[in-house]
Amino acid sequence: MIEVKKEPRILAQRVSFSHRLARISGLQWLLLIIPLGYIMILMVFSMMDFFKLSLFNEDGFTLEYFSHIFSTDIYLKVLWVTLKIALLVTFFSLIVAYPLAYMLVRTTSKLWKKIILASVLIPFWISLLVRTFAWSILLRKNGVINMILMEMGIIDQPLELIYNTTGVVIAMTHILLPYMVLSLYSVMEGIDQRLLLAAQSMGARPWKAFTQVFLPLSIPGVLSGSLLVFVMGIGYFITPALLGGSKTTMISMLIESNINTTLNWHLASALALVLFMATLILLFIAVLLTGKNPVLKELE
Amino acid sequence: MTLGNSLSVVNATKYYKKFKAVDDVNLTVNQGEFLTILGPSGSGKTSLLKLIAGFEQLSNGSIMLNHQDISNKKPYERQIGMLFQNYALFPHMTVFDNIAYPLSLRKMTKEEVKQKVESILKLIHLEEYAQRYPEQLSGGQQQRVALARAIVFNPPLLLLDEPLGALDKQLRKQMQLEIKQIQEHVGITTVSVTHDQEEALTMSDKICVMNKGRIEQVDSPEMLYKQPKNRFVAEFIGEINLIKGQVVSVTDGNAMVKVNEGMRVNIEINKDVAEEMKNKSMLIGLRPENIQIARDQTQFHNTIRVKVLETIYVGEAINIKTKMDTGEEIMAKIPAHMSELIVKGEEILLGWNSKDACLIPDETPI
């Protein structure tokens, strides 16, 4: 069967690019050009122009902005904090989302399915700003969480939950959680549940069946969800800006202050390019990782 | 419990909420036997298989495997091999790893696993495919791998869930024989579930016909076809004409059945049931292929004059739809070369011998 499938694919590659372009008819061109043009205006003109600032100034080509970034402690520290927060958020959202998505596909109760989906999706529909402020109310010194913990006698002093990394990670995990749950869910839903029954019939205890069959098959969802959350997290602005305080600065906040406050657009551009490259490298690694897995190949 | 019984289902009942999916089922499968549970959808056949596999819990009754009650055991404790309808091969494992999976759960050394997998790959003629992934195999090959994986750990019982449902007709016939061959070679007790009567008839030693959660009849394919116990079985397996009649006399393994004033039919019956049949209202079961065209009234034990309503050419034979004087319709299957004897609208004489028909209790008096 697979041999039959492969044949047309090879043929398609042999057809030249110009030939393939010629196959697109007039109306199809129109349908392509309008949305593509809309996207490309930003990509080509605006972004290229902006990134050009990082490599060129009045004196011509220069690498001084990059060398400035990589030789100044504060910038390296911000890069590190950004990376750390993005990784922590990815990690925690995975920890929270995996059981949720798993229950979503495994439960036979329609009610539970609805409850889980609603609890994931309703926050998704509420404005980001509202959610961030809601978290600041919950997390501050005399906020609900500290009040309850002190009332119960678990702590004597209020915990420092806000204006630091902890607060940013808690709120960002919550905000980015739906992306993780939905990525996992879409892959898990495609896993044939009978595979688990099959594993059990061969003598695998449920935990073994899960770790040896379900988990490996859900890895594409773990990767795509993690990638999505990480990429969104690494460039996040509003939540760290409102909940991070002065100690927790992420790279997007630095870019913003360079543009709006210090008016150093060259440096802002260089920082943005560093962020962009970091994202690209991660995407590349992810593609490499997925390339080796036969299940993932199938999904492409 | 007699010795050598491999699987016994005793008074098995399964409720889904208030719905009785399996209703007081008793079934015994002997060592090495191939039993097929046959029934329409919703007959409870799949529920019964799930109960045996342990995927569902019995509401009542018990299931014994080699004299051990396994009713309360988890599926992974039951040691039952199962072949799923869609094969359920692990897509992230190679053919080798798929087959090795049940062995690896049993703490065998790598050499033992390798040797067992290789010998079973030989049995299914897929030695060169060990390092391929399931998606790179054809449907029939996947089927064979799934079968190998289900029997490689020497389970005492093999369950087949609609094993050939996903294959096209030609491949299905080939796989029927292949599965049967492997099953006989290994000598494993097998319970299969299907709604395909042809599959059941070709593969099984015994067939269990289910309907509405109950067992209608358990018999060899031949007996089931020749001597259905009730109307459901008669109509579910193959084509059959059912003619109402009254048993008027029973002599020496022969029953005389009165269809109407002018017509009496002679039917061979089992002597054991002769007494209880007397004067009962019964259905005469007559397979279309057992009816032939008669030259005169003496050529067969029974003859009947009918009018031809319709002829349908089906290749090797012609199905003819006819009508008796009483208005009842009779279908007959006549070899194609006799087609010139049949003319639409004309009367013909049909005949059959007394051993070619059977008597079925008439449960629906009208």
Q: Do A282 and A237 lie in a common domain?
A: yes
pLDDT mean over B71-80: 92
> Residue B254: what pLDDT?
85
Nearest C-alpha neighbor of A173 from the set A216, A139, A217, A218: A139
Q: In the predicted model, what is the mean pLDDT of residues B282-302? A: 89
Using an 8 Å Cβ cutoff, are A259 and A237 in contact? no
Q: Which domain holds residue A80?
A: 64-299
Please, what is the Cα angle at A71 between A66 and A74, to 5 degrees? 100
Which pLDDT tens digit goes with each residue over A50-85? 888 888 888 888 888 899 888 989 888 998 999 999
A131 part of a folded domain: yes
Instruction: Answer whether residue A52 is part of any domain.
Output: no
Query: At A2, is the pLDDT very low, low, confident or very high (cuts 50, 70, 90)?
Result: very low
Whether residue A110 sits in one domain with residue A29: no
The per-residue pLDDT of chain A, averaged, comes to 85
Same domain, A10 and A125: no
Question: Average pLDDT of A182-188?
Answer: 94
Between A2, A194, A204, which is nearest B136 by CB?
Answer: A2
Q: Are residues A88 and A193 in the same domain?
A: yes
Identity of the highest mean pLDDT range in A102-116, A280-294, B255-269: A102-116
Identify the residue among A6, A108, A193, A202 best suited for mutation to test binding to B, counting B beta carbons within 10 A and taking the highest.
A202
Predicted TM-score (pTM) of the model is 0.81
Mutate to test the interface with A, among B70, B80, B90, B151 (most CBs of A within 10 A): B90
* C-alpha triplet B224, B228, B231: angle, nearest 5°: 140
Domain shared by A97 and A210, yes or no: yes
Contact A204 B92 (CB under 8 A): no
Q: How many structural domains is chain A composed of?
A: 2
The pair of structure tokens assigned to A12 is 């398609």
**pLDDT confidence tier of residue A292, bands split at 50, 70 and 90:** low
Q: Which residues pair with B250 in a beta bridge?
A: B255
Q: Is A60 exposed, middle or buried (0-12, 13-18, 19+ CB in 10 A)?
A: exposed
A and B: number of Cβ contacts within 8 A:
73
Pick among B92, B104, B106 to test the A interface (most A CBs inside 10 A): B92
CB-facing half-sphere around the CA of B102: CA atoms within 13 A? 29
Q: Does residue B363 have a pLDDT over 80?
A: no
Q: Which residue has the higher pLDDT, A2 or B131?
A: B131
Contact A197 B102 (CB under 8 A): no
Tokens, residue A189: 């839903």
A163 and A252 in a single domain? The answer is yes
Residue in A2, A198, A216 closest to B84 by CB: A198
- Summarize pLDDT for B123-135 with one digit per residue, the tens: 999 999 999 999 9
Instruction: Tell me whether residue A175 is in a domain.
Output: yes
Residue B221, pLDDT score: 93
> B314: pLDDT confidence band, cut at 50, 70 and 90?
confident
pLDDT in tens, B203-220: 999 999 999 999 999 999
Q: Answer whether residue A225 is part of any domain.
A: yes
Asked if A168 and A239 count as a contact pair (C-beta separation under 8 A), the reply is: yes
Burial degree of A207 (CB within 10 A; 0-12, 13-18, 19+):
exposed
Do A179 and A234 fall into the same domain? yes
- Mean pLDDT of the A255-264 span: 89
Partner-chain contact B88 A298, CB within 8 Å = no
Amino acid at B256: M
- Spell out which residues of chain A touch residue B136, defining contact as CB-CB under 8 Å: 2
Domain assignment present for A268: yes
The Cα–Cα gap between B208 and B25 comes to 11
Q: What is the pLDDT of residue B219?
A: 94
DSSP H or E segment with residue B38: strand B34-38
- pLDDT tens profile B1-21: 444 558 999 999 999 988 999
Q: Half-sphere exposure (CA, 13 Å, Cβ side) for B160?
A: 32
CA distance A204 to A176: 35
Q: Per residue in B260-269, pLDDT tens?
A: 877 888 888 8
The reported pLDDT for the residue numbered A8 is 42
The tokens describing B363, both together, are 């449960």
Taking an 8 Å cut-off on Cβ atoms, the answer to whether B75 and A197 are in contact is: yes
User: Do residues A217 and A295 lie in contact, with contact meaning Cβ atoms separated by under 8 Å?
Assistant: yes
One domain for residues A204 and A74: yes
Query: Which pLDDT belongs to residue B240?
Result: 92
User: What angle is formed at CA A45 by the lines to CA A43 and CA A51, rounded to 5 degrees?
Assistant: 75
CB contacts of B135 in chain A (<8 Å) are 2, 294, 298
Cα of first residue to Cα of last residue in chain A, in angstroms, is 19
Q: Residue A162 domain-assigned?
A: yes
Of residues A8 and B325, more confidently modeled: B325
Give the pLDDT confidence score for residue B207 in this predicted structure: 95
CATH number at residue A264: 1.10.3720.10
Same domain, A196 and A265: yes
- Mean pLDDT, residues B264-291 taken together: 84
The whole-number pLDDT of residue B161 equals 93
**Smallest Cβ distance to A200: which of B76, B86, B139?**
B76
Closest CA to B206 of B29, B83, B41, B2: B29
Q: Cβ of B149 and A1 within 8 Å?
A: no
Nearest to A192 among B55, B88, B138 (CB): B88
The reply to whether A147 falls in a domain is yes
Name, in order, each residue with C-beta under 8 angstroms of B80's C-beta and a sequence gap of 6 or more: A201, B52, B53, B54, B65, B155, B156, B157, B158, B159
Residue A5: closest CA among chain B residues belongs to which residue? B136
pLDDT in the model for residue B339? 78
Flag whether pLDDT at A281 surpasses 70: yes
Q: Which domains does chain B have, with CATH numbers?
A: 5-233 (3.40.50.300), 239-361 (2.40.50.100)
Contact B220, B213 (CB under 8 A): no
On whether both A122 and A270 belong to a single domain, the answer is: yes
Please check whether residue A166 lies inside any domain of the structure: yes
Q: List pLDDT tens digits, range B165-201.
A: 878 888 888 889 999 999 999 999 999 999 888 899 9
Instruction: Find the residue in A nearest to B92 (Cα).
Output: A295
A213: chain B residues, CB-CB within 8 Å: 90
Distance in Å, alpha carbon of A292 to nearest chain B alpha carbon: 11
Using only C-alpha atoms, chain B has a radius of gyration, in whole angstroms, of 25
- Section A32-58 average pLDDT: 85
- Residue A293 is predicted with a pLDDT of 53
- For the stretch B27-48, pLDDT in tens is 999 999 999 999 998 899 999 9
Choose among B75, B92, B137: nearest Cβ to A201: B75
Residue corresponding to tokens 């006799």: B338
Q: Mean pLDDT for chain B?
A: 89
Of the partner residues A197, A209, A295, the one whose CB lies closest to the CB of residue B92:
A295
Q: Where does residue B362 fall: left (phi above 0), alpha (psi -120 to 50 degrees), or beta otherwise?
A: beta
- State the smallest CA–CA distance between residue B10 and chain A in angstroms: 22
Instruction: Based on the fold, state whether residues A235 and A109 are members of the same structural domain.
Output: yes
Residues A108 and A223 placed together within one structural domain of the fold: yes
Whether the pLDDT of residue B270 is over 70: the answer is: yes
Please give the ipTM for the structure prediction. Answer: 0.81
Q: What is the mean pLDDT of residues B71-91?
A: 92
Interface contact flag, A203 B106, Cβ < 8 Å: yes
pLDDT at B309: 92
